[in-house]
Amino acid sequence: MSKETISEFQLVGVGILALGIYLFIKDFREVKLVDVILNPAILISIFGFSICAVSFFGFMGALRDNIFLLKCFAACVFLSYILVVAVTLVFFTLFYTDTTEGLSANWLLLYAVKNYHTNRNLAEIMDALQENLECCGVSSIAQGYRDWNMSYQFNCTTSNPQPEKCGVPFSCCRKSVISEAAGSSNPLLPAMRSLECWQNALTKRPGDLEHDIYTRGCLQPLRTLFESHAVHVGAFVALLIVPVCISVCLTNILAKQVDHQRYLLEREARRNERRRKRDRDHNRRDQLNSLDLLEEGQFNNTSANATRPRPPDIPPPLPPIEHVPRKKSRNASSSPTRKPKPSGVENVAARRKRTPAATRTPPLSAAGPTPTPQATTTNRTHQWVLQQSDLVPQKTKS
């Protein structure tokens, strides 16, 4: 059942409730227990309120996806059907029970006769029954009109001060009498005839009243009317279970869908919460690991600096020193003369023989790679040491 259908039912219920309240206020009387059954205003008000309440549960439950309201709607619809079935059984019991005591159709009609002058709704019900069913009174077939002697307004006791004393309601008059009087040329004849037909009817015999009022009671015609429509009433109540079952089933399906959607949303929310928690744990663990690595790196750098051997002090490279050759004057002596130093290739070969292999610098090829600054500094240092030890000839100015 859609939301639009439920809202339409709610509007119908509000209208019926307003009508019942209006009728009840218009003819306000003391409410008794039996008025719940016989007072049309109360019946209409209860019916309208029930429709409003049930449709409100369904509308709000479907609009807000409220499982509790949807279940209340389904339960109210089912209980309403049970109530309809119970009322139908009560009506069958009323019209198929012949007891004069207890709750029966005879007792209800007698109650309406006794309270005819105190409740206008009851008076209208009795007038409608007597006019449509062509009856007067309640029980007796031949003298049912005498039941009006139990009414405070129509009884024939000497203590009755009412002008309707010993009479019957105007609805007991035959329609033929009123129609004949209406066809007369005298315009006052219908009013006079309607007053004469019911006055002092309780003091007359049934034979004298056959042409003026109905003499049979209303119980038997009402029972005959109900029996003629009992099959239709039973079939309607039996078929009413179909839309009720459809409505209840659809409401339960909607409630289960809402419950399943909530379960899926809650499961997804739990998954997201676990995922966020896991991400927070990973981030916290990564931060702790990075802090540990940072602390370990600082400790390793400190220990490495502490345990690293101190590099030897290497003197800075000195610029090449140009020695100015000094002329030595030799004195004649008797010591043997030195051998002249070999020149050219012989000088280089002799120098290589005197130079140790460990300190010998490899010759640089023209196509070789460019020596690094450290290698250049080392070569300069070796050259300086060799010059100081007179292993390398000093450069002479030309």
The DSSP bridge partners found for residue 213 are: 173
Nearest to 126 by CA among 136, 96, 30: 136
Task: Return the axis-axis angle of helices 219-239 and 120-133, rounded to nearest 10°.
Answer: 100
**Cα 303 to Cα 322: distance, rounded to the nearest angstrom:** 47
The SS3 assignment for 389 reads coil
pLDDT, tens digit (0-9, with 9 covering 90-100), for 235-248: 999 999 999 999 99
Lowest mean pLDDT among 82-91, 142-151, 224-233, 385-394: 385-394
Measuring CA to CA, how many Å separate 380 from each of 89, 256, 351, 375, 386? 129, 95, 18, 9, 10
Domain residue limits, the chain: 1-104+230-264
Of the pLDDT bands very low, low, confident and very high (cuts 50, 70, 90), residue 165 is: confident
**Residue 360 confidence (pLDDT):** 52
Report the predicted TM-score, pTM, of the whole model to 2 decimal places: 0.59
Q: Are the C-beta atoms of 27 and 121 separated by less than 8 Å?
A: yes
**Cα 42 to Cα 47: distance, rounded to the nearest angstrom:** 8
Q: Which two tokens stand for residue 14?
A: 């509000």
Q: Which residue has the tokens 């928690």?
A: 277
**Residue 356 confidence (pLDDT):** 53
Q: Which residue has the tokens 């450069």?
A: 395
Q: Which residue has the tokens 């218009």?
A: 26
Q: Are the C-beta atoms of 230 and 202 separated by less than 8 Å?
A: no
